[in-house]
Structure 1
Amino acid sequence: MKKSKERLFFQGYYAPQRFSAVFFYGYRFYVKAMNLGFYINNELKL
């Protein structure tokens, strides 16, 4: 009983946190890549 409760707590509390952290870092990386792409495009146009 205690073990299943702990696993439920782990899935309910840590899984969304980990998912949001991965999403947050992925979004930051995506924004940085987009900015770098725009910068390279502008430099090549000049």
Structure 2
Amino acid sequence: MERIILFDGECHFCDQSVQFIIKRDPKGLFKFASLQSDIGKSLLLK
């Protein structure tokens, strides 16, 4: 099961939150997709 975190790619706070998580996720359990990306849009539709 993938753990995908959707975030607003235009939001500075969101970007900093993603960076915070990445630094604390050494195993790379979380994946990220911006809401503006094709993958992000597709996930939102689901």
Q: Give the TM bin, normalised by the shorter chain.
A: 0.3 to 0.5
| TM-score of the aligned structures, taking structure 1 as reference length | 0.34
Higher RCO (CA-CA < 8 Å; seq separation 6+): 2
* Structure having the larger proportion of residues in strand: 2
Q: Which has the larger radius of gyration?
A: 1
| TM-score of the aligned structures, taking structure 2 as reference length | 0.34
